[in-house]
Amino acid sequence: MLQYPQINPVALQLGPIAIHWYGLTYLAAFGLFMLLAMRRLHHEPFVSVRGPGAWTRKDIEDMLFLGVLGVVLGGRLGYCLFYKPGYYASHPLEIFYVWQGGMSFHGGMLGVILSQVWFAHSRGKPFWQVMDLVAPCVPPGLAAGRVGNFINGELWGRAADPSLPWAMVFPQSGSLIPRHPSQVYQFLMEGLLLFILLWIYARKERRQGQVAAAFLFGYGVFRFIAEFFREPDAHLVWLQQSTGLSMGQWLCVPMIVIGAGLWVWFGRRPARVA
């Protein structure tokens, strides 16, 4: 049984300005996206696009800028709508209190999708081609975010068998019972493993939309599994007790279904014409 190391969430204090590790993990996520997206431009079909529709570094920079807006705005709104709708309906101004915390992956994903719809429309690029470029570059950023969760000592896991070698005590949970380090599980599954699988899968040209569909399905499955080890939010325990599934799992169900359906549907469409 391990003890949570009590890491200071503030990485650097400059007078009244505090730089938090969690913020740095977001910067790392955006930097990793830029690096990997530039590498994706050397893969098919992006490297073969010529003329006015050719992919450039400026495209990647604009995608990242819009994606950052989508992550922050969508993540915050998603948390308010999915996890505390009653509270924020009564305190609408607190939706803008982002410094109090509260971000949702599923809301952030919807925000990113909307931002890339705008990007694809404004640049005259196929939407699913845009999403195929984006999809394999996302998991490392998710992994960075889980590192931030661990440093903050938040989103801890459910109670674990004390004999489990990596069971960990999180004093922030208000108890000294050993728990699953679910942030680490999510780092390994939704971040590292999903990235490896998607990157290998995307190296070979697929039917347009299949890489994005594989991301939806893969993330949904890995997050669904991880939620069995993650402690539900206190105000949503009733949902897990009454249905057997947590809010995170219910939000993953449509991802899995839609991802699998899109992958099959795209696979039946004619191959891309050069």
Contacts 24+ apart (CB under 8 A), 109-112: 109/74, 110/70, 110/74, 110/78, 111/69, 111/70, 111/71, 111/72, 111/73, 111/74, 111/75, 111/77, 111/78, 112/67, 112/70, 112/71, 112/74
Integer Cα distance of 140 and 134 in angstroms: 12
Integer Cα distance of 107 and 74 in angstroms: 5
The response to whether 146 counts as a known ligand-binding position is yes
Nearest to 132, CA basis, from 229, 40, 257, 267: 40
Instruction: Name residue 56's amino acid.
Output: T
Question: What 3-state DSSP class applies to 183?
Answer: helix
Integer Cα distance of 182 and 190 in angstroms: 11
Strand partners, 18: 13
The residue length of the chain stands at 274
* Count of Cβ atoms closer than 10 Å to residue 240 Cβ: 19
- Residues contributing to the annotated binding site: 146
